[in-house]
């Protein structure tokens, strides 16, 4: 996934940029996600699913997830 411009949240607090989820988009709209600790492992999604995920975060839909996952 070289050539992508990866962005991370300004709330990320890991030492040396670690412990962050990073996001990048391609010109065709595909959204790529990776963990800064393992940048070779990248997953991708489309804008519709990404928007639904972000809306769910803002609503608090994931606030009560079990701690064991």
> Is 26 inside a domain boundary?
yes
Domain count, the chain: 1
Average confidence (pLDDT) over 9-25: 74
Per-residue pLDDT, 14: 59
Q: Residue 33 is part of which domain span?
A: 7-58
Q: Name the average pLDDT for the chain.
A: 85
Average confidence (pLDDT) over 52-61: 94
> Is 38 inside a domain boundary?
yes
Signed CA dihedral, 19, 36, 13, 23: sign only: negative
> Is 45 inside a domain boundary?
yes
**What pTM, to 2 d.p., does this model score?**
0.71
> Is 23 inside a domain boundary?
yes
Q: Which residues touch 12 (CB under 8 Å, ≥6 apart)? A: 19, 20, 36
> Is 53 inside a domain boundary?
yes
**Could you tell me if 37 and 18 are in contact, meaning their C-beta atoms sit under 8 angstroms apart?**
yes
pLDDT tens profile 25-49: 999 999 999 988 888 999 999 999 9
Per-residue pLDDT, 17: 54
Per-residue pLDDT, 41: 93
- Residue 55: both structure tokens together: 């809306």
> Is 65 inside a domain boundary?
no
């Amino acid at each position: 996934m070289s050539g992508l411009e990866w962005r991370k949240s300004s709330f990320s607090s890991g030492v040396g940029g670690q412990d962050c989820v990073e996001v990048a988009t391609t010109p065709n709209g595909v959204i790529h996600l990776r963990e800064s600790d393992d940048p070779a492992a990248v997953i991708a999604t489309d804008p519709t699913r990404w928007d639904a995920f972000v809306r769910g975060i803002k609503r608090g839909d994931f606030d009560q997830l079990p701690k064991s996952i």
